[in-house]
Structure 1
């Protein structure tokens, strides 16, 4: 492994929370059983590569998603992505849905992150009223994945304005690297 590869695999400053439906898994491909649990579904083009690349580069990843725990376990396992996530927070277990702060705070707690770490976290999701509003509400950088037409792509509500917008999953890799470098530079200046 050369020096650049070793540097790419070091733990990163930036921490990434990801929604699942229409952020990793194409909700239009989901198949549910008679109880409403999702039993299969396909990834959005490039989403599997995005997750693997981010994990391989040393980013800490968490799922913060609304729905049934078993649905996400099925989807992420079938698509070979389950083990890339350090933490999986689902609305079923939290008894709350995004944009409720409990969802984001639970992920922070499970990753042993405190208030001082909020500036290091980004929340990536497809839903302005849930993912972006929730992240903005708790002081986490919001990233809107503007991939699907199932949800509004714009909002007039300032609480739903994302800090960043990307059009496809793989664009997150470049954005994460850029934000991580900014955080690392800020840390070096403060040291």
Structure 2
């Protein structure tokens, strides 16, 4: 576990799982070494501000991404974002790719979240067949970052329909605040 910076005393109800490629890092800027490990890449405009703002507001953040640990460590460290994530779950360590539910269960387990917490989690990613399908199958709210043309933007498969769609990384801050307020209001009513 990473135990990144905790900058807000206010605990948020909403928990945010994020993909990395084409969600935080622009895959088109990635440079790989001879072994295929990503050694550098640039953030999508606004993605670094999105991550920092969410962390500063007290949201618990996890990376749930397909790829190698070293690639993501390189990318997130050089862009100053590594320490903002409480948990980093990669397909390399899990031996499966998204949409396999083990990816999401591993992030939940590492964050000490149980079944009753599923309704508090959102998965944000750019890929309908991996991020959105995986979140939907895991009973987690899906958010499609409709930013890149590298992957399909629509699907006829109901399992790949996102609960929410945003067009750019910074739009996640407003959506997260809104969803968190809805969760907090429900909790107050139940109390």
TM-score range relative to shorter protein: over 0.9
TM-score, reference length from structure 1: 0.96
Structure 2 unaligned blocks of 5 or more: 1-7
What is the CA–CA distance in structure 2 between the aligned matches of 1:10 and 1:45, rounded to whole Å? 28
What is the CA–CA distance in structure 1 between the aligned matches of 2:10 and 2:173, rounded to whole Å? 15
TM-score, reference length from structure 2: 0.96
Residue 132 (structure 2) aligns with: 132
Q: Secondary structure at the match of 1:54?
A: helix
Residue 164 (structure 2) aligns with: 164
Residue 40 (structure 1) aligns with: 40
Cα deviations across residues 34-68 of structure 1 (Å, max 9, x unaligned)? Answer: 00000000000000000000000000000000001
Residue 62 (structure 2) aligns with: 62
Contact 1:99-1:133 at 8 Å conserved across structures: yes
What is the CA–CA distance in structure 1 between the aligned matches of 2:36 and 2:103, rounded to whole Å? 22
What is the CA–CA distance in structure 2 between the aligned matches of 1:11 and 1:170, rounded to whole Å? 21
Residue 181 (structure 2) aligns with: 181
Structure 1 unaligned blocks of 5 or more: 1-7
CA shift, 1:9, in A, is: 4.7
Residue 10 (structure 2) aligns with: 10
Contact 1:9-1:56 at 8 Å conserved across structures: no
Residue 109 (structure 1) aligns with: 109
What is the CA–CA distance in structure 2 between the aligned matches of 1:98 and 1:115, rounded to whole Å? 19
What is the CA–CA distance in structure 1 between the aligned matches of 2:54 and 2:12, rounded to whole Å? 10
Residue 3 (structure 1) aligns with: none
Residue 71 (structure 2) aligns with: 71
Q: Secondary structure at the match of 2:83?
A: helix
CA shift, 1:73, in A, is: 0.2
Do residues 80 (structure 1) and 75 (structure 2) align? no
CA shift, 1:11, in A, is: 1.4
Task: Give the root-mean-square deviation of aligned CA atoms.
Answer: 0.6
Q: Secondary structure at the match of 2:21?
A: coil
